[in-house]
Structure 1
């Protein structure tokens, strides 16, 4: 259960009155109290990813199921996560998104909460350069298993091309296989046609490989039907849902994604209060009778 920020502030103040001033070198580097207690929609999501066993159990379950389905797909030459035709004789491959699918960036998100700031390309670039992302539970074991079976591992990420070197170094330090003499690391803007929509990169892989599984944390990691209204996304999901838990595997990411931005029309120029109001409006609440 979360404790009230006001109670925490009162407790901290009382401790200072009793103990007296703390030496500067003994003071932890924390954000101002006002920043820590300011409303931030990331709080529960970042806390869940960093501190809950539920997050770990969820991720482990997704990758454990993926391993079972991988063995089935390798035994069935007709199986394809992209509904390919004529791919039976192609070597098998798996496509994985990186952020919140393979790489855990919850420390960055938590930093936004405690500093009272919002995402920016500047702080994100600094986070990538720091190479401190951790492994999503289960991902390393799955990828190593797939690699041991002769499956080519492709990382299809919307990290930008100029962030590739730092990202590779982060992954290599965690022990992830990087593909040998084949470029298996496909970043945004690496080629002119490789934009945020990952369709062109999935098609690029599918020319030479039978894609037997895909992993992501966002609907657009699997399909170009992720854009549109909430209702349009629901319709697309209903048409594609047979893939999920068969050859498409979704990791839980409550911190950000197209599910959130859809509620405020993908208008990132809106203030946080305006976005929050539209998100509340998108809810389908139950309220008790008077």
Structure 2
């Protein structure tokens, strides 16, 4: 049985086992326009940037402040611009560059496999992001650990290295749940369309 959803084909293999395959399918009527998505992202990143700016300005102790960003459909426009090199999401890029200019470290925590770290880091830096750290799942973690647990463990590790994560930003609840961030900002995913 094959079910088609916006931008993906889901192959159901009996007994509930499913395999999702990214496919170059035509846009569905339920798709969101890129301009609308960027506007909705900016509505979230504006307050996030103000918060990060205020935290950086208020810090007189020299603490190591950081933000954590998800990659796909957060830092990069993966849904709209799929391919090997994906452009930055402009409002998120502006937030990251502003934070970094104020001494806030920028870390990326992704559900991607770490086998692609070199390509991912190259894409992020060529898109203009400062990359102070990139955390992706090992092959052993892919099937064994939930995305939410993996992302939580990586934020915990960043804080264990002496950082105060002032903001965690992503488009999925798995990017934000589990703590280890002073505040979280959820970008739109339109009921899972941009997972």
Please state which band the TM-score falls in when normalised by the shorter chain.
Answer: 0.7 to 0.9
Q: Within the alignment, does 1:218 sit opposite 2:175 as a pair?
A: no
Distance in 2, matches of 1:104 and 1:171, equals 11
Residues 78-89 of structure 1 mapped to structure 2, 5 A cutoff: none
Q: What RMSD in Å do the two structures reach over aligned CA positions? A: 3.0
Q: 1:175 to 1:192 in 2, by over 3 A?
A: same
Deviations 1:194-225 (A, max 9, x none): 94221110100111101111100011111149
- 1:95 maps to 68
Looking at structure 1, the residues matched to 56 and 47 of structure 2 have their Cα atoms a distance apart, in angstroms, of: 14
Unaligned runs of 5+ in 1: 1-37, 78-87, 109-126, 226-242, 258-290
1:71 aligns with 2:49: no
> How far, CA to CA, are the matches of 2:178 and 2:29 in structure 1?
29
Number of aligned residue pairs: 165
Measured in 1, the distance between the counterparts of 2:139 and 2:56 equals 30
Aligned to 1:141: 94
CA contact (8 A) 2:67 2:167 kept: yes
Contact 2:53–2:99 under 8 Å retained in 1: no
Pairing partner for 1:253 from 169, 183, 189: 189
Assess if the C-alpha contact under 8 Å between 1:140 and 1:176 holds in 2: yes
Looking at structure 2, the residues matched to 136 and 93 of structure 1 have their Cα atoms a distance apart, in angstroms, of 19
**Where has structure 1 moved over 3 Å in runs of 4 or more?**
38-42, 190-195
Q: Which has the larger radius of gyration?
A: 1
Q: CA deviation at 1:89?
A: 5.9
1:252 to 1:151, Cα distance in 2 relative to 1, 3 A: same
Mapped to 1, the partners of 2:175 and 2:128 lie a distance apart of 23
Question: For 1:90 and 1:149, how far apart are their aligned partners in 2?
Answer: 12
Contact 1:155–1:185 at 8 Å: present in 2 too? yes
Question: How far apart are the structure 2 equivalents of 1:92 and 1:102?
Answer: 19
Q: Which residue of 1 aligns with 2:121?
A: 168
- TM-score by length of structure 2 reads 0.72
Q: Normalization by structure 1: what TM-score?
A: 0.50
1:40 and 1:205 map into 2 onto residues whose CA distance is 36
The yes-or-no answer on 1:205 pairing with 2:158 is yes
Higher mean C-alpha displacement, 169-178 vs 199-208? 169-178
